[in-house]
Chains A and B, each alone.
Chain A
Amino acid sequence: MVSTQKEALATSEQPHAAYRATQFILQSGLLIAVILLFIVLSIIAPNFLSERNILNILRAVAFNGIIACGMTFVIISGDIDVSVGSAIAWSSSLLGVLAIKNGWNLEVAIVFVLIQGILIHLAASYIRVRWNVPAFVVTLALFISLRGAARLITNAYPVTPFPDYFSFIGGGFILEGIPFLSRGIPVPVVIMLTTFAIFYFISIRTVFGRSVYSVGGNEEAARLSGIPVWRTRMTIFAITGFLAALCGVLISSRIMSGASNIAEGLEFEVIAAVIIGGTSLSGGQGSIIGTFLGVIFIGLLGNGMVLLGIQSFVQEIIRGFIILFAVLISIWQNSLQKRVGAVAEAKT
């Protein structure tokens, strides 16, 4: 009896090792793709490796990256949020109107904008959980109406001018004179990296992060285990609302105006990055690191296509197919993992 158990354990080690090896290769796939893309672009795209271009890429991914952190939690929890682009535009417009047209103190206006970002998303998520309305519908409503509200309060014209010092958080640099990037690192990039670090920590090491995965993996099981499902979902949305408002402020600083026409289509670029990063739309699975790679991948791809002189409409077509392809890969990956898992089970 003891010996058969030992045998069972011994044979089970093998598929488990194979399982882990497969997992590693599958999970590193995106990292490999990012590295390959970088190398290929360095060779074939003119000026790709120039300081100016690298800065462009970093800046381009910064805002998407910040939002993508929140979006990853939203999608892991089994929800979706298509309102973030409009929320950014609304926050930017509101900041402009309050600080410039209404003459509020800039710092006070920023704090106000951040808080309203949280509150609007909290209200939306309350509707989501209280009446079990699909998150897509609630955020679709916000997507449409926040953009309208932004245009309404600005008459669809940019609101200017902000005081000069405001440009630092969206357009400034720190660590000037470091090797290669002589102008330093753009502040939004620093904020993005900080956001990723914080979200990585939350996702791995906190009760809240674990709850996000549980709620998305099996809401019923989470509820039965006494995990506060409503509170978890509402917190996720509050965070996303905050990040959208933050991006609104940062972009306002970058373009030095409050504008209602910014971040159009950003929500889908962010969702695409999260999906490419391996987060499953059905919830319960995903990682912040994957999202980081997804954001970088999309940034590199967009930049590379511009440098290679690909016509912009063609770029859109290519982007669309890349998203489809990424999802297909993750589906194949899942079925492959199941097969490996089944082998492991059969042998135990």
Chain B
Amino acid sequence: MTPILKLEHVSKIYPGVVALDDVDFSLDAGEVRGLLGKNGAGKSTLIKILSGAVIPDSGTITVDDQPVVMHSTRDAFHHGIYTVYQEMSLVPALSVAENITLGRWQKKNLFGFIPTIDYGAVRRIAQSALDELEVKLDLDTPVSRLSIAQQQTVEIAKALSFNPRVFVLDEPTSSLADHEVQALHRIVRRLAEQGRAIIYVTHRLQEIPHIAHTVTVLRDGKSVGTIAVKEATSERIANMMIGFDWQRVHRERSTSTQDVKLAVRNLSRAGVLHDISFEVRGGEVLGIAGLLGSGRTELLRAIFGLDPIDSGTVIVNGHEVTHPTPALMKINGMGLTPEDRKRQGLILSSSVQRNMTMASLDRVSEYGLLRLTNEKNLVQKMVDLISIKTPSVSVKVGTLSGGNQQKVVIGNWLNNQPSVLMMDEPTRGIDIQAKEQIFELMRSLAKQGLAVLFVSSEIEEVLDVCDRILIMKDGRIIGETLPSEVNLEQLLSRVMAEETHG
């Protein structure tokens, strides 16, 4: 049987990064292929190539033995490849029927000359698409009133009217509840039975055996291999995802016996965080290992008072707080460097100096009056201490490199001399040298007695710098381990595969 879709020697190079490196990939009719890989392994580049959003630098793509070149999403539709992204392309205010037929509404002329939408035809087309998926949805409901799962169904029904040969589903279950996942799997099987091929991208390893026939793993832009699903144990997949080239850096670690600086007791937030308790001591770097959507960022946000909590308490430096707010947590000696530095951490149009005293205005002022010389000295000292590369403290922070911007965010908090520092994805999108400097900084802060809470989607980073690791999944802490007790494969497979209730 000839494959429906075939990629040969496909490469894509961005400045400084080889996103895809000589990837071969082929897909048969009726096949559901799981596509796995860590962040940055090349999954999203591959998807973008298949959806026509990105043009590969070299290599060929053939659909049904015909070589194709896709310059736009429209080209991809035309060649029978349809990609359903996590962020859906639906218009919230329009109805299910209107969304399914979006852009292809049948027209009829009222009184022979006023063009109007032929709602009869629109509803007929939409209904037949839903029938094909064997799902029931009210055609006239605005999409904004549907659940995420239902919206996804609408998106797939919309795709069906293009009659695609290949479906690409990008993390389709990342925001679905269990019973919704079942329903989606039914739809995917139905599509496969119709002879279509499906590329199924997921982070959830445990759903692979239920839905995929075969699994392809990408790593560093290369295809590591394609295996049948029955050979795909989570250990084996973790192994393929990581490779053998990763070496643990030797760092000085400690088992801290200092006072508890931060204690979280029975923290819950409906649907997001469930009964979370843990402690961090001074001098300790505590890591939280969890996948996207495991609740790791939400946990930090809840502790810092950015999102409301339903129950539980946070004890910082002995002060018990039941209703945290950022201002209150700051007074109690806590800091948070947020995951998205540009949107949440910095005022890009403002100077390095102003960005680095946002959290410590009280320390550079008396009676509400700024001491500008003190401020400049304080900032300059911090710039030197954590080696921020900037022409001066008065340049706009937006002109610095990602790593230096991240250091500005960290410096902003260090200037307030916190005793607990929570760092959410401090290494996202920065170069290796800057990463290493930030890890060293974390270790040295711990040595000075700070309690550091570190969240990263890069599991090896957590293993690399932390003294102790909490494993988080579905809003719960499902385990705790010491870096010396696990290797990366074990940790990764626990993070990905372990069932919530043991």
Contact indicator A217/B330 (Cβ below 8 Å): no
Confirm or deny: B395 has a beta carbon within 8 angstroms of a beta carbon on chain A.
Answer: yes
Q: Say whether, besides A207-B365, A345-B401, A224 and B344 are in contact (CB < 8 Å).
A: yes
Contact indicator B395/A207 (Cβ below 8 Å): no
B residues less than 8 Å from A19 (CB atoms): 395
Contact indicator B350/A16 (Cβ below 8 Å): no
Chain B nearest CB from A215 CB (Å) reads 10
Instruction: Point out the residue from A217, A224, A345 that lies within 8 Å of B306, measured CB to CB.
Output: A224
A182-230 interface (Cβ within 8 A of B): 205-208, 210-211, 213-214, 217-218, 220-228
Contact indicator B365/A224 (Cβ below 8 Å): no
Contact indicator A344/B395 (Cβ below 8 Å): yes
Confirm or deny: A93 has a beta carbon within 8 angstroms of a beta carbon on chain B.
Answer: no
Q: Say whether, besides A213-B354, A220-B344, A226 and B370 are in contact (CB < 8 Å).
A: no
B residues less than 8 Å from A12 (CB atoms): 391
Chain B nearest CB from A235 CB (Å) reads 11
Number of interface residues of A (CB under 8 A): 33
B residues less than 8 Å from A228 (CB atoms): 327
Chain B nearest CB from A209 CB (Å) reads 8
Instruction: Point out the residue from B345, B392, B399, B401 that lies within 8 Å of A342, measured CB to CB.
Output: B399
Residues 5-27 of chain A: 1 if any B CB is under 8 Å from the residue's CB, otherwise 0?
00011001101100100000000
A residues less than 8 Å from B336 (CB atoms): 224
Instruction: Point out the residue from B338, B358, B400 that lies within 8 Å of A345, measured CB to CB.
Output: B400
Chain A nearest CB from B402 CB (Å) reads 11
Confirm or deny: B123 has a beta carbon within 8 angstroms of a beta carbon on chain A.
Answer: no
Confirm or deny: A285 has a beta carbon within 8 angstroms of a beta carbon on chain B.
Answer: yes
Q: Of all chain B residues, which has the CB nearest A11?
A: B391
Contact indicator B358/A221 (Cβ below 8 Å): yes
A residues less than 8 Å from B323 (CB atoms): none
Q: Say whether, besides A205-B370, A206-B368, A341 and B399 are in contact (CB < 8 Å).
A: yes
Contact indicator A226/B330 (Cβ below 8 Å): yes
Contact indicator B370/A207 (Cβ below 8 Å): yes
Chain A nearest CB from B306 CB (Å) reads 7
Contact indicator A224/B395 (Cβ below 8 Å): no
B residues less than 8 Å from A285 (CB atoms): 349
Confirm or deny: B398 has a beta carbon within 8 angstroms of a beta carbon on chain A.
Answer: yes
Instruction: Point out the residue from B331, B349, B359, B369 that lies within 8 Å of A225, measured CB to CB.
Output: B359
Contact indicator A224/B345 (Cβ below 8 Å): yes
Confirm or deny: A284 has a beta carbon within 8 angstroms of a beta carbon on chain B.
Answer: yes
Contact indicator B370/A225 (Cβ below 8 Å): no
B residues less than 8 Å from A226 (CB atoms): 326-327, 329-331, 359
Residues 382-406 of chain B: 1 if any A CB is under 8 Å from the residue's CB, otherwise 0?
0000000101100110111100000
CA distance A187 to B180 in the complex (A): 72
Contact indicator A205/B392 (Cβ below 8 Å): no
A213-252 interface (Cβ within 8 A of B): 213-214, 217-218, 220-228
Number of interface residues of B (CB under 8 A): 37
Contact indicator A210/B401 (Cβ below 8 Å): no
Chain A nearest CB from B447 CB (Å) reads 25
Instruction: Point out the residue from A13, A213, A220, A344 that lies within 8 Å of B399, measured CB to CB.
Output: A344
Residues 278-301 of chain A: 1 if any B CB is under 8 Å from the residue's CB, otherwise 0?
000000110000000000000000
CA distance A111 to B329 in the complex (A): 39
CA distance A218 to B338 in the complex (A): 13
Confirm or deny: A335 has a beta carbon within 8 angstroms of a beta carbon on chain B.
Answer: no
Contact indicator A210/B395 (Cβ below 8 Å): no
Q: Of all chain B residues, which has the CB nearest A227?
A: B358
CA distance A114 to B362 in the complex (A): 31
Contact indicator A217/B347 (Cβ below 8 Å): yes
Confirm or deny: B361 has a beta carbon within 8 angstroms of a beta carbon on chain A.
Answer: yes
B residues less than 8 Å from A214 (CB atoms): 347, 350, 354, 358
Contact indicator B368/A207 (Cβ below 8 Å): yes
CA distance A207 to B398 in the complex (A): 23
A residues less than 8 Å from B368 (CB atoms): 206-208
B residues less than 8 Å from A205 (CB atoms): 369-370, 372
Residues 307-348 of chain A: 1 if any B CB is under 8 Å from the residue's CB, otherwise 0?
000000000000000000000000000000000011011001
Confirm or deny: B421 has a beta carbon within 8 angstroms of a beta carbon on chain A.
Answer: no
Confirm or deny: B346 has a beta carbon within 8 angstroms of a beta carbon on chain A.
Answer: yes
B residues less than 8 Å from A211 (CB atoms): 361
Q: Of all chain B residues, which has the CB nearest A5?
A: B389
CA distance A9 to B330 in the complex (A): 35
Chain A nearest CB from B433 CB (Å) reads 12
B residues apposed to A, CB below 8 Å: 304, 306, 326-327, 329-331, 336, 338, 343-350, 354, 358-359, 361-362, 365, 368-370, 372, 389, 391-392, 395-396, 398-401, 412
* List of 10 A-B pairs having minimum Cβ-Cβ separation, nearest first: A217-B347, A226-B330, A225-B358, A225-B359, A341-B399, A226-B327, A16-B391, A12-B391, A218-B347, A226-B326
12 more CB-based (< 8 A) A-B contacts, given A206-B370, A207-B365 = A16-B395, A205-B372, A206-B365, A217-B350, A218-B348, A222-B347, A222-B358, A223-B306, A225-B326, A341-B396, A345-B399, A345-B401
